[in-house]
Structure 1
Amino acid sequence: MRRHHSMQDETTVQAVQEGETVSSPGEPQVAVPAVSEELEQLKGEKDQLLDRLARLQAEFDNFRKREAKERQDARDYTVSSTVEPFLGVMDNFQLALKSEGSVDQLRAGVELILKQMEDALRGLSVVPVESVGTQFDPRVHEALGSVETKEFPDHQVLEEIRRGYKIREKLLRPALVKIASNHAVVSE
């Protein structure tokens, strides 16, 4: 039966090529020119869709490249605006190293540089963690030891070993501190 269909299909193709109308038993007759026109129209639509797809792919590729460049530009801008305030600090450190003043003059210069550095950090919303004189807070302090005392309340920060910093409310690093250990207050 399969062979019969292929013979019939070949006859139909040959008839279409010769410009005859084609019909199967029980089907309406179809004019070959109408099928050819529809086929050409579909080919044209296909070509238009392929062209549109190629254009959309090119647009997307350009968008991706443009977005990657904009991201890199934003990173570069962020880095440059962050680093810029510290360039003056670097300049002042280099001047301090070249200076031939006394130890007191060098110390005063370093104190000024430290203040300049703190101002630069403050400009970036980076602030130090409150430590000495406050109660120990494990969210912002890291205890490196305790000191036995009866003069200060238990768990009060007595000494800051390394300053901690926050950017707005987010902790960048905890302060390393020594705290009071007052057994008189604990036992009460």
Structure 2
Amino acid sequence: MSSNETKEQENMEEQREETMEPNEAGSEANEATATADAEQGEQTTADASAQIAELQRQADDYHSRYLRGQADFDNFRRRTLKEKEEQSQYASLKLITQMLPVLDNFQRALQTSAEAADGGSFAKGVDMIYRQLFQVLEAEGLKEMDAVGQPFDPEHHQAIMQVESEEYEEGIVVEAVQKGYWLKDKVIRPAMVKVSG
């Protein structure tokens, strides 16, 4: 080999060594980067696991709250139904309690009529009972209709007869055969009336 060739060969080897040194340094840098990436990945995985655990805890908490709310609602619904049943069963309790003294007075009047021959005291007793009964019903909102002298209204009156009248114009109620009643603002029984024709 010539000295030129030897020099060239030496130069090539030097260049190889120079190119190899940065590669080895790069490989060490790559290993360091990979290690850092792996550590960062492990940290990210740990953070994600912590977030998942927190979200799971929140989901469990919301689910238990939902179940408690559902149970409370079911209890409320059952309690309300029971109260409604009791109210409908005992709706007339107050009225019946107020009617008991009226029943007592009817019994007394019947006993008095059997013992006494005086019909006047019996009539007075029955009249007192009627007034007492009407007061109880009035307190509950019952009102009598004043039909006589009023224009005929098919929503409030039930005409059973048409009569000639000099006292009233045509279409006016002349006589109430059976009284009509209101319960507060509602007609519960229309009055049976005779109407002038």
Is TM-score (shorter-chain normalized) higher than 0.5? yes
- Which stretch shifts more, 136-145 or 99-108? 99-108
- Structure 2: distance between partners of 1:43 and 1:152: 87
- In structure 2, the gaps of 5 or more residues are 1-37
Q: Given that residues 149 and 168 in structure 2 are in contact (C-alpha distance below 8 angstroms), is that contact kept between their aligned partners in structure 1?
A: no
What letter corresponds to residue 122 of structure 1 in structure 2?
E
Q: Of 108, 112, 122, which aligns to 1:95?
A: 108
- State how many pairs are aligned: 155
1:123 aligns with 2:117: no
1:80 aligns with 2:80: no
> Deviation per CA, 1:42-72, whole angstroms, max 9, x where unpaired?
3222221121111111221232234334545
Structure 2-normalised TM-score?
0.64
Q: Secondary structure at 1:155's aligned position in 2?
A: coil
With over 3 angstroms needed to count, the CA separation of the structure-2 counterparts of 1:36 and 1:93, relative to structure 1, is: same
- Structure 1: distance between partners of 2:60 and 2:88: 42
Q: Secondary structure at 2:92's aligned position in 1?
A: helix
Q: Of 73, 76, 92, which aligns to 1:63?
A: 76
Highest CA radius of gyration, 1 or 2? 2
Residue 74 (structure 1) shift: 5.3
Q: Given that residues 170 and 196 in structure 2 are in contact (C-alpha distance below 8 angstroms), is that contact kept between their aligned partners in structure 1?
A: yes
1:177 aligns with 2:193: yes
Q: Given that residues 161 and 195 in structure 2 are in contact (C-alpha distance below 8 angstroms), is that contact kept between their aligned partners in structure 1?
A: yes
Q: Secondary structure at 1:50's aligned position in 2?
A: helix
Structure 1-normalised TM-score?
0.67
Q: Of 174, 180, 188, which aligns to 1:158?
A: 174
Give the number of the structure whose residues are more often helix, by fraction: 2
- Structure 2: distance between partners of 1:127 and 1:69: 33
Matched-pair identity in %: 32
- Structure 2: distance between partners of 1:60 and 1:149: 66
What letter corresponds to residue 54 of structure 1 in structure 2?
L
Aligned Cα root-mean-square deviation (Å): 2.9
Residue 179 (structure 1) shift: 1.9
Match for residue 46 of structure 2? 33
Q: Secondary structure at 1:46's aligned position in 2?
A: helix
Q: Secondary structure at 2:152's aligned position in 1?
A: coil
